[in-house]
Amino acid sequence: MRRSPVYTYTMSPIIPTLTRQSIVPSLLTTERLILRQWQDSDREPFARLNADPQVREFFPGRLTRDESDASVSGFRKGIEERGWGFWAVEVRGGAPFIGFVGLSVPGFRPCVEIGWRLAREHWGHGYASEAALASLRFGFEKLTLEEIVAFTVPLNERSRRVMERIGMSRDPADDFDHPKIEPGHPLRRHVLYRMKRSDWEQL
């Protein structure tokens, strides 16, 4: 089966007219999951997820309810405008919301990243990898992206294992200090993983 967020200022993946490209809002499906547009009913479980210290272990802090709701509104608006983004994820015939997985454009560089954040009770089932593969497929085959990146802090072994499991690779020379985290903060250093379209096509 096809294997369908460190950052560095030297990376410059080509994303033609990305901010202007609009497609029909997408709903992605896998064997077990549905990646879809956000609903108001997602706000409460997403706020619980963002208040969980284990989920937020490798972020500068937990989110307040207002901050979490603002994230939902931003994710939903992005999908409405572009047709893709960080999709809400539900389990077919099961949990109506487990977190998000999808693609985004970070605010500090013109590239496309893949990312995920799942509620702790849904870790360990392979959901992040399964949804990430669907997102990669969408990015390379629908958006025809040349490259997709992922980044996290070095100690976040869970996310790094997902990145490796879906076929992404890391060059330590690409590791970087996240520009949105203040100098000296222990979470400022990030590792970068990449996948090029040619890598995807060989899987």
As a whole number of angstroms, the distance between CA 152 and CA 130 comes to 19
Would you state the pLDDT for residue 25? 62
As a whole number of angstroms, the distance between CA 95 and CA 42 comes to 11
- What is the tens place of the pLDDT at every residue in 58-103? 999 999 999 999 999 999 999 999 999 999 999 999 999 999 999 9
Confirm whether 18 is domain-assigned. no
pLDDT band at 11 (very low <50, low <70, confident <90, very high): very low
Distance of CA 32 to the CA centre of its chain: 18
> For residues 172 and 139, is the Cβ–Cβ distance under 8 A?
no
**Structure-token match 């009913």, residue found:** 41
Structure-token pair, residue 92 = 């077919």
As a whole number of angstroms, the distance between CA 92 and CA 30 comes to 9
Q: What is the pTM (predicted TM-score) of this model?
A: 0.88
Would you state the pLDDT for residue 23? 57
Q: What pairing do the DSSP bridges indicate for beta strands 33-36 and 176-177?
A: unpaired
Would you state the pLDDT for residue 16? 40
- What is the tens place of the pLDDT at every residue in 114-147? 999 999 999 999 999 999 999 999 999 999 999 9
- In angstroms, the Cα distances linking 28 to 9, 51, 69, 74, 107 are 31, 27, 23, 19, 25
Could you list the residue range(s) of the whole structural domain that residue 73 is in? 28-201
pLDDT score of 10 more than 60: no
pLDDT band at 7 (very low <50, low <70, confident <90, very high): very low
> For residues 13 and 140, is the Cβ–Cβ distance under 8 A?
no
Would you state the pLDDT for residue 24? 59
As a whole number of angstroms, the distance between CA 174 and CA 195 comes to 13
Number of domains in the chain: 1
As a whole number of angstroms, the distance between CA 114 and CA 4 comes to 11
Q: What is the 3-state secondary structure (H, E, C) of 62-122?
A: CCCHHHHHHHHHHHHHHHHHHCCCEEEEEECCCCCCCEEEEEECCCCCCCCEEEEEECHHH
Helix (H, G, I), strand (E, B) or coil at 49: helix
Confirm whether 41 is domain-assigned. yes
As a whole number of angstroms, the distance between CA 175 and CA 18 comes to 25
- Element at 149 (helix H, strand E): strand 147-152
> For residues 85 and 30, is the Cβ–Cβ distance under 8 A?
no
Confirm whether 5 is domain-assigned. no
Confirm whether 156 is domain-assigned. yes
Confirm whether 48 is domain-assigned. yes
Say which residue, 4 or 128, is predicted with more confidence: 128
**134: CATH:** 3.40.630.30
- What is the tens place of the pLDDT at every residue in 156-195? 999 999 999 999 999 999 999 999 999 999 999 999 999 9
